[in-house]
Structure 1
Amino acid sequence: MDEFEATVVQIADPTMLKHERLQIGWAQNSEKEWAIDAYYDVILALRERFDLADSDKTVHYGSSAGGFQAVCCAAKDRGSTAIVNNPQLDWSLYNERFVNALLRDVFNGSEIEEVRTRQPWRVNVIDLFEHVGYVPKTEVLLNIASAGDVEQQLKPILSRLEGFESLGKKPTFSFNLYHDVNMGHNPLGKPYTIQKINRELERLRSE
């Protein structure tokens, strides 16, 4: 962690501790408890206790399922920035095997449409933005050589963003597209990622 020019807080998804059969949890934790709420409480407590940077100098990072969680945290942590790599912006559109396993263990076998109806903000980041009335500044690094990320995430989210003027502001949501057949869904390399985050932190500190 010494490579980062800032204090780093890592939060592991408690969903996999609670449900040991799961490989991906998307911070869902339980039917009644969404782990993102707890993440935000932890961030606030650490900020206050250790006098850490305010939200406007904070970057939330994650890839894949971690990318979903990072965007959700940024939506809660108003003023902060999210940088995410090949995230699931709507986890219900990801690999059916992992989605069904989550529904089985976390939501007691509910169908995805039931979850979307009851708590859509826990499934899709656009629904979360509408729920909280806020769009966090977000940069999505997305590999267009990864068919799943393009078809299951990029295209559906773009179609939702087109009609997003309902919040009365231009979405601060950008896509940085790249093409790497060999990497596929895997995130960009560690050196590039660290450099990307450090540059954003430097920019935020200079404002």
Structure 2
Amino acid sequence: MIKLLDQYKIINISYEQLWQMDFQTTEPFILKVDWDKVTYEFLIRIKPDADNTIVFGSGAGGFQEQPIGPPIFHRHSWMDEFEDTVIYYNDPTLYLGKLSLGWGQGELNRFYLQDIANILEIVFTKLKIDSKNVLFYGSSGGGFMSLILAGFVKGSTAFINNPQTNLIKWIPVPVNLVFDLSYPGLSREEVEEKFGERINVVKFFNHIKYVPNIYFLQNFACEFDVQNHLLPFISELGQLDKDTEVNQIIIDLYFDKKAGHAAVGKSETIEYIKK
């Protein structure tokens, strides 16, 4: 049975208390971490003897599951399909205004995805989870966030389906809404110039001198994605600084004209994740 979010136990702690947190429970729970006036929320289900950990990112479709959100934990109804530890994170950017997607942008002086990665790494340490056994999954905007998080969490893998790789090349209206809230007073051009490594995945990889393991699943029938996100991503990877550590990148193309930008279905996605 699918649980509504309000049926999960909620644990409220400060960032400073995270190291003292006892993660003994195997029941799913929502962890709310207050850190310098921002609340980071995670839905966690621990499997103590599991080999792997799956971290789910939310695309705009998360609001269809949880229309009264945030918090948004996209695909949380899939939890019982896995024998692994599963973690869902909410993007606090969604609290800045009326948004369906925030791409983890945060505030001028604070990149929320970096904070989420920091908290996750503490959780992984507490649970004795090796980052090489961590998979970040997401589609569309969740794919963008998964790429960034896998870059921060060295050794992990990003499995992404039809992701954005550069927000400047996505549909302007939702991107401008986020830029206006996260970077008030700055034009799109100024955001691109000052925060390029937050909005362009390859610029981010170049900035941290590291490219994680990536499994990039793309619908080749979605011409907009291919022209604006897949091909520029591949092209820009060829221009990385020579001292950048590059891990394995697999591009897997399929052709589904009807599905377009939408992710592959639940059962197929689960099969890919379990691989």
After TM superposition, the score normalised by the length of structure 1 is 0.89
- 1:104 matched to 2:183: no
Counterpart of 1:47 in structure 2 is: 124
1:107-146 matches, cutoff 5 A: 107-146=183-222
Cα offset, 1:163, TM superposition: 2.4
Alignment match of 1:24 (pick from 94, 101, 112): 101
Residues 2-42 of structure 1 deviation map (CA, whole Å, 9 limit, x = unaligned): 212310010011111222x2222100021211111111122
After TM superposition, the score normalised by the length of structure 2 is 0.68
Counterpart of 1:166 in structure 2 is: 242
Partner AA of 1:43 in structure 2: L
CA contact (8 A) 1:165 1:171 kept: no
Aligned-pair Cα RMSD in Å = 1.5
Partner AA of 2:200 in structure 1: N
Give the greater-gyration-radius structure (CA).
Answer: 2
Aligned residues: 197
CA contact (8 A) 2:209 2:244 kept: no
Cα separation, 1, equivalents of 2:102 and 2:246: 31
Counterpart of 2:231 in structure 1 is: 155
Cα separation, 2, equivalents of 1:44 and 1:142: 28
Counterpart of 2:85 in structure 1 is: 7
| Higher share in strand | 2
Counterpart of 1:204 in structure 2 is: none
Partner AA of 1:188 in structure 2: V
| Higher share in helix | 1
Cα separation, 2, equivalents of 1:27 and 1:165: 25
Cα offset, 1:46, TM superposition: 1.5
CA contact (8 A) 1:164 1:171 kept: no
- 1:185 matched to 2:227: no
Cα separation, 1, equivalents of 2:152 and 2:169: 23
Partner AA of 2:115 in structure 1: A
Q: Say if 1:128 and 1:91 are closer, same or farther in 2 by CA, change over 3 A.
A: same
CA contact (8 A) 1:145 1:180 kept: yes
Cα offset, 1:170, TM superposition: 5.0
Cα offset, 1:154, TM superposition: 1.2
- 1:36 matched to 2:105: no
Instruction: For structure 1, list consecutive stretches of 5 or more residues without a partner in the other structure.
Output: 200-207
Cα offset, 1:86, TM superposition: 0.4
Residues 153-203 of structure 1 deviation map (CA, whole Å, 9 limit, x = unaligned): 01211221222362355553221111101111000111111111111xxxx
Q: Which has the higher contact order (CA 8 A, sep 6+)?
A: 1
Cα separation, 1, equivalents of 2:86 and 2:245: 31
Q: Say if 1:169 and 1:94 are closer, same or farther in 2 by CA, change over 3 A.
A: same
**Identity across matched positions, percent:** 33
Instruction: For structure 2, list consecutive stretches of 5 or more residues without a partner in the other structure.
Output: 1-78
CA contact (8 A) 1:161 1:171 kept: no
